[in-house]
Amino acid sequence: MRNAGWGKTADANGQRHRAALSTVTKPNTLPRRRRIKQAGIRFLSLLAPFVYLSYMGLVRMTSRRSTPGLDTLRECNSTGNGALIALLHQDLLIAPSMLRGLDLATLVNIGDAGNILTRILEKMGYIVLRGGSSTSPTRRTGVIKEITELTARPEHAGMVTALTPDGSRGPAGGCKPGIAWLAFKAGLPVYCTRVHARRAWYLPTWDRTSLPTPFNSLSVEVIGPISPPATATREEMERCRAEIETGLHELHARSFERDGKEPVPELAKLPAKLPRKRAAVRVKQQAGVSARTPPITA
What digits encode the pLDDT tens for the residues 143-192?
Answer: 778 888 888 888 888 899 999 999 888 899 999 999 999 999 989 999 99
> Whole-angstrom Cα distance, residue 53 to residue 98?
11
Cα–Cα distance between 193 and 288 in angstroms, integer? 35
DSSP states along 65-121: EE-HHHHHHHHHHHHT--EEEE--GGGTTTHHHHTTTS-EEEEEESSHHHHHHHHHH
In the predicted model, what is the mean pLDDT of residues 52-59? 96
Dihedral of alpha carbons 41, 45, 46, 51, sign: positive
pTM of the model: 0.77
Quick one: pLDDT band at residue 132, thresholds 50, 70, 90?
Answer: low
pLDDT at position 157, please? Answer: 85
Check whether 263 has a pLDDT greater than 60: yes
Which overall architecture, per CATH, does domain 66-267 show? 3-Layer(aba) Sandwich (3.40)
pLDDT exceeds 80 at position 298: no
Q: What is the largest CA-CA distance in the chain?
A: 115
Give pLDDT, residue 41.
77
In the chain, which ranges are continuous DSSP H helix? 2-23, 32-61, 68-79, 95-98, 112-123, 137-152, 178-186, 234-259, 276-286
Give the Cα separation of 77 and 69 in Å (integer): 13
Q: Could you tell me which of 152, 151, 149 has the C-alpha nearest to residue 162?
A: 151
Whole-number Cα distances in Å, 15 to 4, 19, 23: 16, 6, 12
Give how far Cα 155 sits from Cα of 100, 149, 253, 291, Å: 19, 12, 37, 52
Beta bridge partners of 107: 129
Quickly state the pLDDT bin for 50 (edges 50, 70, 90). Answer: very high
Q: What mean pLDDT do residues 225-247 have? A: 95
- Name the residue with higher pLDDT: 28 or 253: 253
Among 120-134, 212-226, 227-241, where is mean pLDDT lowest?
A: 120-134
Task: For residues 54 and 52, give the distance between their C-alpha atoms in angstroms, rounded to a whole number.
Answer: 5
CA distance 227 to 207: 27
Q: What's the sign of the alpha-carbon dihedral 27, 48, 85, 77?
A: positive
pLDDT tier at 275, thresholds 50, 70, 90: low
Helix (H, G, I), strand (E, B) or coil at 131: strand
